[in-house]
Structure 1
Amino acid sequence: MTNVFITGASSGIGEALARAYAAQGATLGLLARRRDKLEALRQSLPHPERHRVYVVDVTDGVALQAAATDFMQTVNRVHVVVANAGISVGTLTEQAEDIAVFDRVLQTNLQATVATFSPFINAMKTYAGQEPCRLVGIGSVAGIRGLPGAGAYSASKAAVISYCESLRVELRSSGIRVVTIAPGYIDTPMTQINHYPMPFLMPVADFAQQAVKTIEAGDSYRVIPWQMGVVAKLLRVLPNAVYDAVFSRAPHKARAADQDAAQKPQPGAE
Structure 2
Amino acid sequence: MSRLVFITGGSSGIGQALASHALAQGWRVVLVARRKEALLAWVQQQPAAQHIAVYAADVRDPQAMAAVGRECIAEHGLPDVVIANAGISVGIDSADFEDLQVLRETLETNVLGMAASFHPFLALMRERRAGTLVGIGSVAAIRGLPGHGAYCASKAAVLAYCESLRGECRSFGVRVLTLSPGYVDTPLTRGNPYPMPFLMTPEAFARSAWRAIERGDSYRVIPWPMAVVARLLRLLPNALFDRIFSGRPRKPRRGR
Same fold judged by TM-score > 0.5? yes
**Alpha-carbon distance, 1:195 to partner:** 2.1
Paired AA for residue 2 in structure 1: R
Q: Deviations over 1:9-63 (max 9, x none)?
A: 0101001001000111111110001122111222233432232101111112211
1:30 correspondence with 2:37: no
Matches for 1:234-249 after TM superposition, within 5 Å: 234-249=232-247
Paired AA for residue 224 in structure 2: W
1:184–1:201 Cα contact (<8 Å) kept: yes
**What is the match of residue 45 of structure 1?**
46
Aligned counterparts of 2:234 and 2:167: Cα–Cα separation in 1: 22
Moved more, 237-246 or 170-179: 237-246
| Structure 1 spans left out of the alignment, 5+ residues | 259-270
Aligned counterparts of 1:55 and 1:75: Cα–Cα separation in 2: 16
Aligned counterparts of 2:52 and 2:17: Cα–Cα separation in 1: 15
2:61–2:116 Cα contact (<8 Å) kept: no
**What is the match of residue 261 of structure 1?**
none
2:78–2:121 Cα contact (<8 Å) kept: no
Q: Secondary structure at the match of 1:154?
A: helix
**What is the match of residue 119 of structure 1?**
120
Q: Secondary structure at the match of 2:146?
A: coil
Match of 2:216 among 215, 218, 221: 218
Q: Secondary structure at the match of 2:194?
A: coil
**What is the match of residue 15 of structure 1?**
16
Paired AA for residue 19 in structure 1: S
| Structure 2 spans left out of the alignment, 5+ residues | none
Aligned counterparts of 1:191 and 1:242: Cα–Cα separation in 2: 26
Aligned counterparts of 1:235 and 1:170: Cα–Cα separation in 2: 30
**What is the match of residue 106 of structure 1?**
107
Q: TM-score scaled to structure 1, two decimals?
A: 0.92
Aligned counterparts of 2:88 and 2:243: Cα–Cα separation in 1: 28
Moved more, 46-55 or 223-232: 46-55
**What is the match of residue 142 of structure 1?**
140
Q: TM-score scaled to structure 2, two decimals?
A: 0.97
Paired AA for residue 197 in structure 2: P
**Alpha-carbon distance, 1:128 to partner:** 2.8
**Alpha-carbon distance, 1:170 to partner:** 1.0
Paired AA for residue 98 in structure 1: D
2:194–2:248 Cα contact (<8 Å) kept: no
Paired AA for residue 196 in structure 1: Y
Q: Percent identity?
A: 53
Q: Deviations over 1:207-226 (max 9, x none)?
A: 10000111111211111011
1:22–1:46 Cα contact (<8 Å) kept: no
Paired AA for residue 123 in structure 1: L
**What is the match of residue 93 of structure 1?**
94
For CA contacts below 8 A with separation 6 or more, give which structure has more relative contact order. Answer: 1
Aligned counterparts of 2:54 and 2:171: Cα–Cα separation in 1: 32
Aligned counterparts of 2:129 and 2:54: Cα–Cα separation in 1: 25
Paired AA for residue 40 in structure 2: E
